[in-house]
Amino acid sequence: MNPLPLALTPKKILLIGAGKVAAQKARAILESDCPLFILAKEVRDDYFLDKEVKLAPFSPQELEGFDLIIDATGDEALGRWLWEHKKEYRYWLNVVDVPALCDFYFSATVRRGDLCVSVSSGGASPTLAQGVRDKIARFLPSLLAPLLNRLKEERQKGRIDPKSALPSIQKALGKVFLIGCGPHSVGNLTLKALETIEILDVALIDALVGEEILNLLSPQCLQISVSKQKGCHSYTQEEINGLMLRYAKEGLNVGRLKGGDPMVFGRVAEEAGFLMEQGIEVELLSGVTSFLAGCLQSGITPTLRGVSAGALVVSAHLKESRFHDEWLAWLKDSPYTLVVLMAHSFAREITLGAKNRGVPLTIPAAFVSKIDSPSPKSVIGNLGCLEEMAKECEKPAILVIGEAVKESLRMPYVGERVILE
Ligand code: SAH
């Protein structure tokens, strides 16, 4: 394998064949800006329908004037003939899938402007090379493209000061991933989140992220638990933002691991907005929210046809630890199912609030506790007995209120189910 990337532009390329394999090669060549000519006996792949293909059997004079020849015909005899006559016609050859008859290989590439990372397995396994390329692409920020343009301009103007460019290069290499880790188990993690968690250098972890998910972090990954924990310092939003910024500026892959989906009461706007303002690249990765996983665990269909016209997701706990219950107004003659997050500690207050607002206390309600964990539990009752229900289960829990809750009794559910009258 040659570790020297050669400047091959512009070199005239001849592709022989117009089948499926040839189409793959043609797509890759298109990215290289090299002029491409195609010779084939017949077109066997739709890709070539709108391309210019010379339809003719192979003959040696077709080789005149080409620098690179790619034989994608699968014709063994032709491959060998081309290899034997290389010197005569002065071309470099690639007989697809026959490494012994190749002067050069196709590599899996990822580009950010002029920056090109090329992964080759020396013809041994293009699939493996693509897998490695995909992994690199996950953390290679798009911001590298504009930075590279700037550095190129400076270089052309003769202003090269590697020392002064270093901080901006390092900053552009850093990236922050705001990752939804689902309600608890690895089983509810998305594949994209899984792949990303594996490549993190630093992880800032929320309390609701499941233990087994943390086991996926690499041993070198710096883990910082930023949630409130008994006897430990709990980080303010500003401190969390500061940590993400600091590590991203060092050029690291920073993961902000959040329970459920980051877009559901996940403070994403505060964090992503701050980082974007600081010129740091941010990627959001969705997760399974406890709102939906909890309904499923308990057998509650929040949008049950004929019973509930839709679902509202609210929180009983807003900024500055304040309890709030304006959402109770939605329950009066409501066609909807209400899903309340962060409600478990306020069970008594919610019942009181409902009473004060004249909301019927007979509306069915359920606490769905420890969703997706080894000890899931649902407690079913009504708005009038929330305090009693909360005592039957532990945090974290979601509260579901509405007629759809009653219908769940006919549905399959996971874990323990307690029904209070
Ligand atoms: N982004 C999260 C919600 C964050 S707010 C999501 O999409 O799920 C935190 C609240 O989510 C908790 O108070 C609780 O109501 C709910 N919650 C999160 N994980 C839970 C779990 N495993 N079991 C029960 N409730 C959960």
What does the pLDDT look like over 111-126, one tens digit per residue?
Answer: 898 898 999 888 788 8
Q: How far is the CA of 289 from the centre of ligand 1 (A)?
A: 7
Q: Is the CB of 399 under 6 A from ligand 1?
A: no
pLDDT at 208 over 70: yes
Partnered with residue 89 across adjacent β-strands are none
| Percent of the chain's residues with pLDDT above 70 | 96
Picking from 204-208, 245-249, 323-327, which range would have the lowest pLDDT averaged per residue?
A: 323-327
What pLDDT shows up at residue 159? Answer: 73
Q: Is the CB of 377 under 6 A from ligand 1?
A: no
Q: Is the CB of 396 under 6 A from ligand 1?
A: yes
Domains contained in the chain, CATH given: 13-139 (3.40.50.720), 174-285 (3.40.1010.10), 294-419 (3.30.950.10)
User: Sign of the CA dihedral 58, 104, 112, 131?
Assistant: positive
- Summarize pLDDT for 151-178 with one digit per residue, the tens: 999 888 887 677 888 888 888 999 999 9
Residue 262 CA: which ligand 1 atom is closest? 1
Q: How far is the CA of 184 from the centre of ligand 1 (A)?
A: 9
Biggest CA pair distance of the chain: 95
Give catalytic status of residue 228 as yes or no.
yes
What pLDDT shows up at residue 342? Answer: 95
pLDDT at 380 over 90: yes
Q: How far is the CA of 340 from the centre of ligand 1 (A)?
A: 10
User: Whose alpha carbon is nearest atom 5 of ligand 1?
Assistant: 265
What pLDDT shows up at residue 229? Answer: 60
The whole-number average pLDDT for the span 52-56 is 95
Picking from 278-282, 315-319, 385-389, which range would have the lowest pLDDT averaged per residue?
A: 315-319
The whole-number average pLDDT for the span 55-80 is 94
Q: Is the CB of 259 under 6 A from ligand 1?
A: yes
**Per annotation, catalytic residue among 71, 201, 206, 325:** 206
User: Whose alpha carbon is nearest atom 6 of ligand 1?
Assistant: 260
DSSP 8-state assignment for residue 86: H
What average pLDDT is seen over the chain?
Answer: 92
- Summarize pLDDT for 11-52 with one digit per residue, the tens: 899 999 999 999 999 998 887 778 999 999 999 999 999 999
What pLDDT shows up at residue 138? Answer: 87
pLDDT at 365 over 70: yes
What pLDDT shows up at residue 320? Answer: 64
- Burial of 88 by CB count in 10 Å (0-12 exposed, 13-18 middle, 19+ buried)? exposed
Residue 368 CA: which ligand 1 atom is closest? 24
Q: Cβ distance 392 to 382 under 8 Å?
A: no
pTM recorded for the entire structure: 0.85
**Per annotation, catalytic residue among 54, 152, 228, 391:** 228
Pick 267 or 232 by higher pLDDT.
267
Q: How far is the CA of 326 from the centre of ligand 1 (A)?
A: 20
Measured at the CA of 417, the angle between CA 323 and CA 356, to 5 degrees, comes to: 30
Q: Is the CB of 342 under 6 A from ligand 1?
A: yes
Q: Probe ligand 1: pick from 179, 186, 208, 345, max atoms within 8 Å of CB?
A: 208
User: Whose alpha carbon is nearest atom 12 of ligand 1?
Assistant: 342
User: What one-character-per-residue DSSP string does 126-153 give?
Assistant: HHHHHHHHHHHHHHS-TTHHHHHHHHHH
Picking from 4-8, 112-116, 202-206, 286-290, which range would have the lowest pLDDT averaged per residue?
A: 4-8
